[in-house]
Structure 1
Amino acid sequence: MKKKIALALSLLFPLPAFSSLTITTTNNGSDLANALQGAGVTISNVALQGAQTQQGFFSGGLSAGIGFESGIILTTGDANSAVGPNTNSNSTTTDSGSDTDLGALINATVLDANVLEFDFQSDSGNISFNYVFASEEYNEFVNSNFNDVFGFFLDGVNIALIPGTSAPVSINNVNLDVNSIFYQNNENAFFNVQYDGFTTVLNASFSGLSNGNHHIKLAIADATDSALDSAVFLQAESFSSSTVPLPPAIWLFGSVLAGFGLIKPRKNYLNKI
């Protein structure tokens, strides 16, 4: 019966040919910010906190299953390790320091912080951009203290929120059991990225900005310890004064198969260190 279901689904949803991401690391914050810049915004005063290979550019995101083709990646480890398939658990200590804003979001110590921040002006008073959060902390450490977190702080206020809520996006707030409509399980290595799970493409936006300069801080960090890495992918040229449409959901086929039990998740019993 399952074989018949799989055949029918493959006709309705042709399976995409997933291939690997391409990552190019950089420690040039201005280049990263310029890659994000879209229509209707100007950027200045860029600052970057991160180790040499902690952040960079990526391409091949659509074929790998991320949901958009290219952009920048910020990680709590080595950005090169984002490339799939998901065959091991990445755990890199970067000694890049902490971040008080992220620590306040989850009331915990954060480590290996990666922060890109800059001033900007919007010609419409609006700002919007698209992103995906991914982590090796899935699914074993959901509802634990190892709650890797990120935030997009607009003039000090986090706008990286679960749609329709005031809750920040983190592994405890988006997973197989909570807000699962926004979650993609990759423990079965269906998607060709190394992380055990990641969100669907989400949008961060704000309307009604006053004239003049505003400040955005894009930050991600490990929580409690440095073991197991997380990342945030940001779509190229989506930081703009108008909303860039969300890309097609090419991951739908995998979700449907998982729902029918046709993809079996693997178990990972890695101990935290």
Structure 2
Amino acid sequence: MHGYCTIWLCILLPLHSLAQLSVDTSYNEESLVREVFFQANASLSHISFKGSYRALGLFEVNNEDFPLKKGIILSSGDAKSAGGPNQNPATSSVHRTAGDSYLDKLSGGTTYDASVLEFSFVPEQNTIAFEYIFASEEYPEFVGKGFHDVFAFVLTDLGSHRSYNLALVPETQLPVHVDHINSKRHNEWYIANAYRKSGQWYDLLEYDGLTQVLTAQAAVVPGRKYRIRLAIADVHDPMLDSSVLLKEKSFRSFNTPSTEIVTNSESTLVTPHTILFDWDSSELSPDAEEKLRQFADDVLLNAAKAIWVVGHTDSWGSDTYNEQLARRRVQTVVNYLARLGLKGKVRLYRRSKGENEPVANNADAFGRSQNRRVVVSAEF
């Protein structure tokens, strides 16, 4: 019997290992950013990394169901500890490296073992985006207890020197961490992964919880230089690891549709209609109502599959107030489209981005007038 058990173990162990997430920390930051993370359509320069090189690596997953197959892992602990099975509810690696002042302010506490990956780029098109997953050992025990590890994707316009954190809970201005995405709050973005074999990715990941795939996105000015900081750290103490998984080749530059009709093999997207608003107002002007009537006619005539309504503000006012104002503007547009006959006839998606994606300079009155807007578009 002992001989048979040995044979079966030799067969099963390789199969089990294939189900794990594996990490290689031998890559440097240059090769990870240029060869793993980056797509074309933007020039790239000044790549740097601060932190322990045990916290930065290339991850790969041999599992058809897991949404990210390969990419960069950036951790507050040892990146190699990310691989499953999840047999420890409190995996911790202490590097004894410095924290990060921006993450101190964002978290409201002292940070430790910060890992910061930075690079500069010049986009050729008007939007940048990338996909990621956040995972942490602080789930679920430390939700709401002030020990949430913190991370941020800080985009800085090197012309205006304005900075924006792109790591936000969808349709909010809340930074992503264990207190904002968990089993009770914004739980549509949460995946439990308890260490007692009850987690969805128990065999794959060590972490006790993780987010769904999230998208970081921002409007940019083609030809202008930007810098982005991808940073993660422990908060209040250096214990309990967290990581961000950045999808391979997902950092990209692309154009928001700007022609009358944009067609690909699957769908047609109508030109976004921009509805402008007066300062501190969510009321529609006569011109805005006319634009929405034209938009609704197109949607009904051509049997649209879905429509999007995305609200924005200028930079005056607090982040919280501007988020609320953007939501009111979106609701005003949605209500008007409903009165025009769209209610119940087409899927509707809404987002409120506050002041985070300006299309013009907020330093002057004209620029602010262009940023006080709702953008509507439709897929056919």
TM-score for both structures, normalised by structure 2:
0.57
Q: Indicate whether 1:126 and 2:127 are aligned.
A: yes
Moved over 4 A (4+): 61-64
Aligned-pair distance for 1:102?
1.1
Q: Which runs of 5+ in 1 are unaligned?
A: 1-17, 244-273
- Whether the 8 Å contact between 1:27 and 1:53 is mirrored in structure 2 is no
After superposition, where does 1:93-172 map in structure 2 within 5 Å?
93-155=94-156, 156-172=163-179
For residues 104 and 209 of structure 1, what CA distance do their matches in structure 2 show? Answer: 28
Amino acid at match of 2:121: F
Amino acid at match of 1:167: L
CA distance 1:136–1:71, shift in 2 (3 Å): same
Q: Establish whether residue 218 from structure 1 lines up as the match of residue 218 from structure 2.
A: no
Aligned-residue offset at 1:209: 2.6
1:1-273 map, 5 Å: 19-26=19-26, 28-34=28-34, 35-60=36-61, 62-63=63-64, 65=66, 67-88=67-88, 89-155=90-156, 156-187=163-194, 188-191=198-201, 192-209=204-221, 211-242=223-254
Point out the structure with max Rg over C-alpha.
Answer: 2
Instruction: Quickly say closer, same or farther: Cα 1:69–1:96, change in 2 above 3 A.
Output: same
- CA deviations on 1:58-103 (whole Å, 9 max, x unpaired) are 11164473x2110000001101100001101211111221111111
CA distance in 2, matches of 1:114, 1:62: 27
Letter in 1 for 2:199: A
Contact map agreement 1:147 1:172 (CA 8 A) in 2: yes
Indicate conservation of the 8 Å contact 2:136/2:210, yes or no: yes
Conservation of the 8 A alpha-carbon contact between 1:60 and 1:70: yes
- Cα deviation for residue 40 of structure 1 reads 1.3
Q: Aligned residue pairs: how many? A: 226
- Kindly indicate whether the alpha-carbon contact (under 8 Å) linking 2:75 and 2:243 is maintained by their aligned counterparts in 1: yes
| Percent identity between the two aligned chains | 37
Distance 1:64 1:94 in 2: 33
| Conservation of the 8 A alpha-carbon contact between 2:124 and 2:222 | no
RMSD across aligned C-alpha pairs, in angstroms? 1.8
CA distance in 1, matches of 2:32, 2:234: 21
Provide the C-alpha distance between the structure 2 equivalents of 1:117 and 1:68, rounded to a whole number of angstroms.
22
- What SS does structure 1 have at the residue aligned with 2:40? coil
Using a 3 Å threshold, how does the CA distance of structure 1 residues 168 and 62 change in structure 2: closer, same or farther? farther
Distance in 2, matches of 1:203 and 1:123, equals 20
Letter in structure 2 aligned against 1:225: D
CA separation of 1:138/1:64 partners in 2, compared to 1, >3 Å: closer, same or farther?
farther
**Which secondary structure state, in structure 2, belongs to the residue aligned with residue 53 of structure 1?**
helix
Whose relative contact order is higher, 1 or 2, with alpha carbons under 8 Å and at least 6 apart?
1
CA positional deviation for 1:144? 1.0
| Residue 218 to residue 129, structure 1, CA distance change in 2 (3 Å) | same
Distance in 2 between residues matched to 1:61 and 1:101, nearest whole Å = 35
Q: Is the 8 A contact 1:61 1:70 kept in 2?
A: no
Report the alpha carbon displacement of residue 42 of structure 1 after superposing the two structures with TM. 2.0
Query: Letter of the aligned partner of 1:166 in structure 2?
Result: Q
For the 8 Å contact 2:191–2:200, the answer to whether it is kept is: no
State the AA in 2 paired with 1:182.
W
Contact 2:128 2:251 (8 Å CA) reproduced: yes
Match of 2:300 in 1: none
1:142 shift after superposition: 0.4
Q: Which has the higher helix share?
A: 2
For normalisation by structure 1, the TM-score amounts to: 0.79
Counterpart CA distance in 1 for 2:137 and 2:60 is 21
Counterpart CA distance in 2 for 1:131 and 1:61 is 18
1:95-145 CA deviation, whole Å, 9 max, x = no partner? Answer: 221111111112111111011001011110211000000000000000012
Distance 1:79 1:32 in 2: 14
One-letter amino acid of the structure 1 residue matched with residue 97 of structure 2: S
Give the partner amino acid of 1:219.
Answer: A
